[in-house]
Amino acid sequence: DADVTQTPRNRITKTGKRIMLECSQTKGHDRMYWYRQDPGLGLQLIYYSFDVKDINKGEISDGYSVSRQAQAKFSLSLESAIPNQTALYFCATSDPGQGETQYFGPGTRLLVL
């Protein structure tokens, strides 16, 4: 079984809708992250969490919110989706014992019409 899972894997939604992307991990890591990736571009950090009570904004948090329900679960919400949020979204965990090596989920491909 995959260590970091994301649901759904693909999602099509309409402008203005609220959607939630979910991430679960079995690696036992405290630290979790949400990134977006636009075609041909690198990874942009949306939010990160170093433990259940710690949530931090990344580079591009506007229009997004997160919830850390448990050590193993970190959800990303788009409050009112807009077309320029169409992207590939990745969840990741990190291991501070390995210099913050990050381990990525398989990604969620989101299309906002």
Per DSSP bridges, beta strands 10-13 and 108-112 are parallel
Site for other proteins in 67-96 (CB under 8 A): 88, 90, 94, 96
The answer to whether 8 contacts other proteins (rule: CB under 8 A) is no
Strand ranges, E, within the chain: 4-7, 10-13, 19-25, 31-37, 43-51, 54-57, 64-70, 73-78, 87-95, 101-104, 108-112
Find the shortest distance in angstroms from Cβ 11 to other proteins.
15
Q: Which amino acid is at 113?
A: L
Q: Which of residues 32-51 bind other proteins (CB under 8 A)?
A: 33, 40-43, 45, 48
Residues that bind other proteins (CB under 8 A): 31, 33, 40-43, 45, 48, 88, 90, 94, 96, 98-107, 109
